[in-house]
Amino acid sequence: MPYAVQHTLAGPATLQGTSLHTGEKVSLTLKPALEDHGIRFRRIDLPDMPFIPADVSKVQTVERATTLAEGSVKVHTVEHVISALAGMGVDNALIEMDANEPPIGDGSSRPFVELIQKAGIAPQTAPRRIWEIREPIHMETGDGTIITIVPSKTFRISVTNVGPEGRFTQYFSGEVTPATYEKEICAARTFVYYEDVKPLLDKGLIKGGSLESAIVIRGNEVMSKESLRFHNEFARHKALDLIGDLMLSGIRILGHVIAVKPGHGPNTKVAATLKAEYAKMRSMVPAPISIPAGEGVMDINEVLKILPHRYPFLMVDRIIGFEGEDKCTGVKNVTINEPYFPGHFPGHPIMPGVLQLEAMAQVSSVIMLRKPENMGKIGYFMSADNVKWRRPVLPGDTLVIECRIVKMRGSIGQTRCRCLVNSEVVSEAELKFLLLDR
C-alpha cells in the first residue's frame, strides 16, 4: 500500500440485518469522520450514545469473534466491518449501531464492502501513517499457531488454515490492496466445524447463525446453501479476519504477515505487539525542544569562544537558553558519524556514558565561565558524584543537557546536571570544578 493521504467515507450508508451471535435485528450506519479520528463504534441504542474506539486496548474477549468494551458497553464481532474498512483503504469512519453486534450478512465482509462503495470514499489532506516493518515480529502459541511479520515493501498476507485432524488444510497468499481485497478476500465466508456447533449454542453464541450466514464443515463434507466461492475459501476468510484484527493496532503496515492457524486471540495479541513496538519506535523520534525563558541562544561560534574544547571532544552543539544566572540548557545532536562509534560496541552503537558526563561538564563550564568575574578562565574537574546512567543514548538522539549552579565559592563551583532524550532522563550527576586562569 503506497504512501497516501488519509481517506474517509464520502457520505453515510446503512445496512440492516441479523447479528450472528446474539440473533438480534440491527441497523448499522457507516459515516464519515475527521482526519486522525480512526475507526470508532457508537451504540445509538444506549443512553448518551457512547463511543468505543476500534483499538486493541479495548479488546475484552476473543471467543469465535472479537469483542470490544468501554466500561460496561460492548460491541461484538467487529472484525468483518473493520476488515472491510481497512482493506478498502478507509482510515477514518464512525460505525453507528442500534444493537451490540453488526449484521452477519452472508458471513463474509462483502456486504460491508458494498456498503462502503455505496457511501463512496473521499481523500483527506492529512498524510496516512504507514509503518514499514524493519525487524521481524514473531508469536507462537502452544496449540500450533504461528504468526510472523517480516519486512516487505507491500502489505502482504500468507495464511495456512489447519482444521481438526488436519481437515481442510488450505493456503492463501496475496498482496492486500483495495482492488485485491474486493476481488480475492472480502467474499470469503466464515465457517464452523459441526462438532463445535452445540458447545457454541450452549454458551449462548451463534443464535443468528444459519447455512446462509456460515459454512458448516461435517467430517470431510461442506454444508452450505452455496458451493465454495474459492477452493481455499477458509484460508481466505482467515486472512479477512486477520486484516480486521491487526487493524486494532491503529497502524497500517508495510510487511509480510505469515500466519499458521491464526485465530482472534493470537491475532489481537500480535496487534497489541504492533501497537507497542510502533510506540517504542516513535519514542526514538526527537521531540520538539522548547526554548527556556531567558536571554536567547548561543550558536556554535559563540560556544567556541567560551569553551577550549575542539573536535572530536566538543560535546555541545548549541546553548538553547538560560534561566537567570544559574541555569543553562545545551544540545548535543548525536549522529552515527561520531568518532567514538566505530570502536564503542561495534554493531550496537551507543554514546559512551563518560562522554555524556563530559557534555554535562561542558555545559556547566558555559554557565560558570560566562560570568564576568570568570571570563578568560578554564574549568577543571574536581569530582563527579551521584552519577547515574538510566538508558542508552543512540545515534539519531538529540541530547538535551540541563545544568544548574548549586554552589559557587571563590574559584570552586558545583553544578547539578542531567541529560534528557525526548523529555526522559538518560543520565545525571553532581559535578565540582576548579576555575583557573588559562
Residues 280 and 131 sit within 8 Å (Cβ to Cβ): no
Q: Using CA atoms in the order 195, 196, 199, 205, what is the torsion angle rounded to 10 degrees?
A: -140
Strand locations in 266-410 (E): 318-323, 327-333, 377-389, 398-409
Helix, strand, coil % over all residues of the chain, rounded to 5: 25, 35, 40
DSSP H or E stretch at residue 275: helix 264-283
Cα 45 from chain centroid (whole Å) = 32
| CA 96-98-99 angle, 5° bins | 110
Q: Which entry of 7, 21, 237, 264 is annotated as an active-site residue?
A: 264
Q: Which entry of 37, 138, 344, 348 is annotated as an active-site residue?
A: 344
What distance in Å separates the CA atoms of residue 127 and residue 204, rounded to the nearest whole number?
A: 44
Helix ranges, 307-417 (H):
353-369
Residues in Cβ contact with 210 at an 8 Å cutoff, skipping those fewer than 6 apart: none
State the sign of the Cα–Cα–Cα–Cα dihedral 314, 318, 320, 323.
positive
Judge whether 80 counts as a catalytic residue: no
What distance in Å separates the CA atoms of residue 3 and residue 129, rounded to the nearest whole number?
A: 8
Judge whether 344 counts as a catalytic residue: yes
Strand locations in 119-263 (E): 121-127, 130-132, 137-140, 146-150, 155-161, 170-175, 191-193, 215-218, 221-223, 252-260
Contacts 24+ apart (CB under 8 A), 160-169: 160/235, 160/259, 160/260, 160/261, 161/232, 161/234, 161/235, 161/238, 161/261, 162/260, 162/261, 163/193, 163/217, 163/234, 164/193, 164/195, 167/193, 167/217, 167/219, 167/220, 168/217, 168/220, 168/234
Residues noted as catalytic: 264, 344
